[in-house]
Structure 1
Amino acid sequence: MADHGRTPDQKTPGIGLLTVLLGAVAAGPILLYGLSATSDSIIAELGISEARFGLLATTCFGAAAVGSATLGRLADRHSDLSLMAFIFVLSALALLLVAVPDGFWMLLIAAGLSGVAQSFPNGVTNRILLERVPTSKRIGWVGVKQSGVQVSQLVASLLFPVLALGIGWRGAALTVAIIPLILLAITWHSLRTTPLLPTAPSTVDTDTLTEAADTVTEAADSPAEPAPTRPARHPGMVWALAAFGLINGIGVQATNVYMPLFAVREMGFSLVLGGATAALAGVIGVIARVTWARRMAKGASGAHLLLTLALIALAGAVLFFVAEATGWAAFLWLAVAFHGISALGVSVVLMAALMRVIPAASMASASGMVTAGMFFGFALGPLLMGVIVGSPGGFELGWIAVGATYLMCTLLALMLIRANSRGRR
């Protein structure tokens, strides 16, 4: 097919644009994953408690949640390039601030900036997909770009502990700050050379995005509406997905933030091997997100996939508890695998469900609401886990609490399946 209207230096969407989308999702979380991977050293050097360390994650995700909830519609009115640049510059600045030896409060500021950098990626990358990527590639690319969080987890969990052995955890942050800057340069080139589609969609193509659009909740029974001239109220499906994201997010980040510390403190792992637990979760999470996205692209039910993920995550929490009770490392590695397969795969299912029913004109704000739900959960999880770990109940009580959140996710998924079944009658 001829490329009408393209200048010679323009091109069809390729690996460069996909790298940019993945990088935008990955840039913000690098800081927190790096700090978590070196948490034992940070706690010892700064003389802080486990609960206070958890405040870093709470600050990060709290800022992300507020940003997602309040700035989503603002993002709808700004260009892709300006928003992507904002993401990468803030991510680099946050890492640079970690390198400043000025106490715990500087880490809190850095964590907050990192959180703001995570407010926009889902919305702007979803919009780029709708406006620049052909429908045939779109859902598959969702899985790849949403795996950016786990790519970030993998990179940070391996690099930070290794670099920290030679130049300390502050030096590690300073070194890793170059990654968002490189991604910024790639973004500038890719967005300027990848044009909008000949007719950039204002609605989702219902021929390709199948009838599974209404599987999450009955509120999604009308998947393709004309783009509103002014912001419309979000359908109930958006709020249902946000609620699931919130509850799941509590368990996800309670596990992510404290998993390396658990491995070092309770299981006797070295700092590098403790970071490897998070890295393994990241590797499995990347594979899982791509796999779940493919399932969604083939028309799988979003609600049924969410139920499957919740049950696997619940089994993972049980395995963490068993590892703590028995001291057997094999149970820990198995628990890490279950965590990566399930809880880390929820985001792609949530975003793919949105792609089916939300027009491009409202995508940033709708994605922002669902992302806000996840981030509020992300903020609560580490704070609650830190308090529990510092209590007499320790990690055993912590893993029970994590399991309880996944049990709630299971019940919510069952409710969504039931509601959807009623809507089809």
Structure 2
Amino acid sequence: MDSREQQGPSRGMLTVLLGAVGAGPLLLYGLSAVSDSIIVDLGISEAQFGLLATACFTCAAIGNATLARVADRHSDMSLMTIVFALAAAALALVAVPAGFGMLLVAAALSGIAQSFPNGVTNRILLERVPVQKRIGWVGIKQSGVQVSQLVVSVVFPLLAAAAGWRGAALAIALVPLVLMVMTWRALRAAPLLAETSEPVAEPDPGEPDLAEADDANADPAAPVTPAPATSPRYPGMMWALAAFGLLNGIGVQATNVYMPLFSVRELDFPLVLGGVTAAVAGAIGVAARVGWARQMARGASGPRVLLLLALIAVTGAALFFAAGVTGWAWLLWIAAALHGTSALGVSVVLMSALVRSIPATAMASASGMVTAGMFTGFALGPVAMGLLVSSPGGFSLGWAVVGLVYLLCALLAVVLIRAANRAA
């Protein structure tokens, strides 16, 4: 066996996997962190600002649904290069002083950059990372979105204070370019494994557990032959994951996009501190995704994990509502922490399920369908929240609706648990 294969992939590979997942969201998190300045400078409404996220995630959803099978036929190197190049181009377009229309184009481009990362990074895990490391690495690389949120929510307002928000975007555009060069080196240094066609087993909703083997004593990393794609229960598992991702996605991005604006407008936070609220959620989200991935790897029940995450998210939405009504800033910080712990951790549960059940040859397309569900929710959340915030009900109505959406997530998780119990 080649000595490089014996050593396995390096931490540099893990860095670029995390970077690929986090590169596309850099633009939207950066703009959200300075949303008050953008709204004032461009003379747009809160609902119009929400259209930026809608344009981004609509393109991401369409891209995941339509380009995923194309991605199955292209190399890891080319797809990773496309991801980073599109992310950098989107940020560079923000620097062009051409009004709100150019921001929409940039947001759409950043959405396309989010069409490939889950599929290609999952495939890289199956093809180049030993089985015993995969689920742990899933948790780390899926935290790329929250690392992006953490870093850019703090750095973007600081750069904007010195060079304006357009200058900040141009500076941040260097990050994807550096990651692209790192990717070329990491992929060349990580050979394909001898066996890449046998992912870890993953039950579907018709089995005793959606995301884990029901027997807690079973080895969760034991490779077995997956169910064929023609299995009548296979589509049910995938669509259940996509449905939960859609509902959760609505609440996630309604909160992510408008949390900094809420803190500035309703609680009189300065602009930089408003960005810190999103950074806190992102930092906790990073730890949460790694932690939930470890629970999954230890045999935790998938539907029960999803139910727990939904209930925590409901509590967070209630605290956002209470913070707006009372004006108590400490409630906002707790709400942001609960948001990071719960809603931001769902993606790792969904992606862990895919890595455990889908062969490498179909990983990009299967990941694309589930990710398309999440991004459809991401697209709906901000525009709906923008309309609610602009209505007489304001942020109070917006947070109430977010809480209702998370309650629907909890109901879906209960249905999955009952289906698993009946099957058992």
Q: Secondary structure at the match of 1:197?
A: coil
CA distance in 2: counterparts of 1:34 and 1:260, whole angstroms: 11
Could you tell me which runs of 5 or more consecutive residues in structure 2 were left unpaired when the two chains were aligned: 215-222
The answer to whether 1:123 aligns with 2:119 is yes
Cα gap change, 1:202/1:246 in structure 2, threshold over 3 Å: closer, same or farther?
A: same
CA distance in 2: counterparts of 1:293 and 1:157, whole angstroms: 24
Cα gap change, 1:226/1:78 in structure 2, threshold over 3 Å: closer, same or farther?
A: farther
Question: What is aligned with 1:152?
Answer: 148
- CA drift of 1:59 comes to 0.1
Question: What is aligned with 1:330?
Answer: 330
CA contact (8 A) 1:217 1:416 kept: no
The answer to whether 1:108 aligns with 2:92 is no
CA contact (8 A) 2:200 2:355 kept: no
CA contact (8 A) 2:244 2:412 kept: yes
CA distance in 1: counterparts of 2:197 and 2:122, whole angstroms: 13
- CA drift of 1:338 comes to 0.4
CA distance in 2: counterparts of 1:410 and 1:93, whole angstroms: 38
The answer to whether 1:43 aligns with 2:39 is yes
From 137, 143, 146, give the equivalent of 1:141. Answer: 137
CA distance in 1: counterparts of 2:241 and 2:194, whole angstroms: 31
CA contact (8 A) 1:99 1:171 kept: yes
Cα gap change, 1:15/1:231 in structure 2, threshold over 3 Å: closer, same or farther?
A: farther
The answer to whether 1:215 aligns with 2:215 is no
- CA drift of 1:214 comes to 5.3
- CA drift of 1:17 comes to 0.4
CA distance in 1: counterparts of 2:418 and 2:29, whole angstroms: 37
Letter matched to residue 92 of structure 1: A
- CA drift of 1:233 comes to 9.9
The answer to whether 1:81 aligns with 2:77 is yes
CA contact (8 A) 1:54 1:386 kept: yes
- CA drift of 1:357 comes to 1.2
Q: Secondary structure at the match of 2:267?
A: coil
Give the TM-score taking structure 1 as reference length: 0.94
Question: What is aligned with 2:191?
Answer: 195
From 157, 170, 176, give the equivalent of 1:174. Answer: 170
Question: What is aligned with 2:199?
Answer: 204
Letter matched to residue 67 of structure 2: L
- CA drift of 1:270 comes to 0.2
Letter matched to residue 187 of structure 2: L
The answer to whether 1:16 aligns with 2:12 is yes
Q: Secondary structure at the match of 1:161?
A: helix
Number of residue pairs the alignment of both structures matches: 416
Question: What is aligned with 2:410?
Answer: 410
Cα gap change, 1:65/1:233 in structure 2, threshold over 3 Å: closer, same or farther?
A: farther
- CA drift of 1:380 comes to 0.2
Question: What is aligned with 1:317?
Answer: 317
Q: Secondary structure at the match of 1:235?
A: helix
CA distance in 1: counterparts of 2:83 and 2:231, whole angstroms: 24
Cα gap change, 1:292/1:217 in structure 2, threshold over 3 Å: closer, same or farther?
A: closer
The answer to whether 1:298 aligns with 2:266 is no
CA distance in 2: counterparts of 1:65 and 1:231, whole angstroms: 25
CA distance in 2: counterparts of 1:313 and 1:92, whole angstroms: 32
Question: What is aligned with 2:396?
Answer: 396
CA contact (8 A) 1:314 1:403 kept: yes
Question: What is aligned with 1:273?
Answer: 273
CA distance in 1: counterparts of 2:322 and 2:275, whole angstroms: 20
Letter matched to residue 396 of structure 1: S
Question: What is aligned with 1:224?
Answer: 225
- CA drift of 1:57 comes to 0.1
- CA drift of 1:104 comes to 0.4
Could you tell me which runs of 5 or more consecutive residues in structure 1 were left unpaired when the two chains were aligned: none
Question: What is aligned with 1:63?
Answer: 59
Letter matched to residue 144 of structure 2: G
Letter matched to residue 75 of structure 1: A
Q: Secondary structure at the match of 1:266?
A: helix
CA contact (8 A) 1:57 1:257 kept: yes
1:392-411 CA-partner distances (Å, limit 9, x unpaired): 00000000000000000000
CA contact (8 A) 1:131 1:197 kept: yes
- CA drift of 1:205 comes to 3.6
CA distance in 1: counterparts of 2:91 and 2:320, whole angstroms: 31
